[in-house]
A and B are shown apart, each in its own frame.
Chain A
Amino acid sequence: MPLLEIRNVTRRFGTLTAIDRVTLSIEAGEFFTLLGPSGCGKTTLLRMIAGFDAPDAGSIFLDGRDLADKPPEQRPVHTVFQSYALFPHMSVARNVAFPLQMAKKPPEEIAAKVKQALAEVHLEDKGASYPHELSGGQKQRVALARALVTRPRMLLLDEPLGALDAKLREQMEIELISLQRDVGITFVFVTHAQPEALALSHRIAVMRDGRVEQMDTPSRLYGFPANRFVADFIGNCNMLPATVSEATPHGLRLAVGALGEVAAPPAERARAGQAGVLALRPEQVHIVAANAAHELKNHFAGRVRDFLYIGDVTTYVVELENGTRIEALLANSAPGRARFFEVDEPVKVAWRHDAGIFLLD
């Protein structure tokens, strides 16, 4: 039995349907992420799990029991808010002790558990500090300790890393992963940052306009997006409009605009004559000098139009002879070299016949 089951949940605000017949289940011990652009309903769904909001239709089950008539304080589910929501008039230790006091635990047990919870987030020596004396990352950790100290069945995190700078964010991501593994509590994590979702999650539900577009593991989402929205939202993607000219169980032959024939991996529902796009990740596209030899089936000549130096990699924008633009990624593996090709330099792009994925319109 899954730990949490959301069945056909709908939530409307006036004429807007913020959550539209969402069904999903989350297993115990999972790190589950709700990913989607701003306004797609992630917070609304999370608030319904926590009990701050109720579905207009459908039900939510925890451990097989319907949560409908349980107020938030009676649900074994805690939330880490984006703004941390630490009580400003309480010390760190008293903040962490709060849920234990509400659960009427004896003082000795409270003291021991607070100490342990602060140790888990590496804040042993901050118990006497007040929230306004802490840095953003430290506040974040106190919020985590406070939410985890009673060992809830499930932890809900609404963009908890949103307010942190990039470096700290990365560090907190690593800490979150190990914390989740150590305490073994199910995390439901909300974010609109796809790298974060990919890095942290066991499974991700990609949402758009109140609906779940696709739900899968990070690598399958990235490698096998179900539609253009998911392909575009997760990572970067070259989208080449294409028509199926031949579909076999071993692969597709696509007519890609003016490029001509392109080989692509098989797609289950593709039939000859159908229109769609070939979604190609920039890192799947090789870029080589115009005169270099290569052995790949799909190759096209073009010129470098632009490049974006990121440090570890450089993204080249290559304009093919027919005007199509393709992004190709190249690791900067030669020390001290920022790029291998200059703007306007003639080059060739190529990709394997099993690279990319054909998505129907």
Chain B
Amino acid sequence: MAVPRAERVTKWLIAGPPLAFLLAFFLLPSLIMALASLRYPGEFGGLAPLAARPGEESGLTLENYALFFGDWVYAQIFAKSLVIAALTTFACLVLAYPLALLIARSPKKRRDFMVLLVILPFASNFLVRVYAWMIILGPMDLLFTRFAVIVGMVYVHLPFMILPLYTNLEKHDPTLLDAAQDLGANAWHTFWRVTFPLSLPGVFSGSALVFIPVLGMFAIPELLGGKDDWMVGNMIKEAFLGTRDWPFGSMLSLMLTLAVLAIAGAAALFARRGAPNE
């Protein structure tokens, strides 16, 4: 079926700016990063000149990738980061869901105030809030542990889970709950058969908003974590700011981006199968 011309033009006008934004600030930097990951590091940091050095064939090399796939330790750090991100996401989901439900089912007047409370922590500096956790966890002998890292991660990212969940739950038709109960479902069945399945889009977007930033996070593991809590983000930061090996850092960043894209793609596929009518 032919789409009217005017409609097509409108579609492009609407989709154009975000598309251009993605192109300029995601795809292009990723390409630059991919290119950088194939080059040699400069003598004092940065990148070496692209021109071939004496005795070598070109200014490009795959040695960073050889390093990455040749040593088990990188895969382990990636896996550890994925586990921390997954645990954080799950903890956020479990903590955020009842709260989002409570807000969504409160009287309309109270909802806005509660949402304000959820985003209030953003008013203070991120680092200050993480330091506050050092003060809390220190005396409890929990500082510099995996647990401390996850606590910090959950604390910082919780609003990103609450808000999409709330936005979704708030739109649910309350008569569906009446209908479920009327047809013989108790509170438990009503939740798992009706509320939760209908909230899956909110669960997925909230999870993405938590999972992805946690994977790249370095400040929290650095401040709250112990010797074993070295994450991908720390490696990348170290490569750029510590050892000044830009190509190695670029390679790690690219791998991280690819990992996130793979997971997001899988989730999207799964989500589409879960909610066929949306």
Q: Chain A: residues with CB nearer than 8 A to chain B?
A: 50, 52, 71-73, 77-79, 81, 83, 85-89, 98-99, 102-103, 130-132, 146-147, 150
Contacts and interface: CB of A to CB of B under 8 A. Distances in A.
Contacts of B198: 88-89
Given A83-B175, A87-B194, A89-B198, A78 B275 contact: no
Interface string B201-217: 00000000000000000
Interface stretch (B4-12, B181-189, B233-241): B181-189
A98 B183 contact: yes
Given A85-B178, A88-B198, A102-B189, A78 B276 contact: no
B67 interface: no
Contacts of A78: 182-183
Contact of A79 (B182, B194, B197): B182
A81 B181 contact: no
Interface in B161-194: 173, 175-176, 178-186, 189, 193-194
21 contacts: A52-B182, A71-B181, A72-B181, A73-B181, A73-B182, A73-B185, A73-B186, A77-B182, A79-B178, A81-B179, A83-B173, A85-B175, A85-B176, A85-B179, A88-B277, A89-B277, A98-B180, A98-B185, A102-B183, A102-B185, A146-B183
A50 B182 contact: yes
A79 B180 CA distance: 10
Given A87-B193, A98-B185, A147-B183, 17 more contacts: A52-B178, A72-B178, A72-B181, A72-B182, A73-B185, A81-B178, A83-B173, A85-B176, A85-B178, A85-B179, A87-B180, A87-B194, A88-B277, A89-B197, A98-B193, A102-B185, A130-B276
Q: How large is the interface on B (under 10, 10 to 19, 20 to 34, 35 or more residues)?
A: 20 to 34
- Most chain B Cβ neighbours within 10 Å, of A71, A89, A103: A89
Interface in B80-104: none
Instruction: Give the top 4 A-B pairs by smallest Cβ distance, nearest first.
Output: A102-B184, A85-B179, A99-B183, A85-B175
Contacts of B193: 87, 98
A250 B137 CA distance: 97
Contacts of B176: 85, 87
Contact of A103 (B182, B184, B194, B277): B184
B191 to A, nearest CB: 13
A178 to B, nearest CB: 24
Contacts of A86: 179
A147 B181 CA distance: 12
A77 B178 CA distance: 13
A214 B179 CA distance: 31
Contacts of B276: 130
A73 B193 CA distance: 15
Interface in B136-161: none
A146 to B, nearest CB: 7
A71 B277 CA distance: 32
A116 B176 CA distance: 24
Given A98-B193, A102-B189, A130-B277, A85 B181 contact: no
Contacts of B186: 73
Contact of B275 (A83, A89, A146): A89
A159 to B, nearest CB: 13
Nearest to A52: B178
Contacts of A103: 184
B175 A81 contact: yes
A204 to B, nearest CB: 24
A88 B197 CA distance: 10
Contacts of A83: 173, 175
Contacts of A130: 276-277
B197 A85 contact: no
A331 B276 CA distance: 54
A150 B277 contact: no
A99 B181 contact: no
Contacts of A71: 181
Nearest to B186: A73
Nearest to B183: A99
B216 to A, nearest CB: 33
B211 to A, nearest CB: 24
B106 to A, nearest CB: 19
B173 A85 contact: yes
A81 B178 CA distance: 9
A142 to B, nearest CB: 12
Contacts of B182: 50, 52, 72-73, 77-79
Contacts of B183: 73, 78, 98-99, 102, 146-147, 150
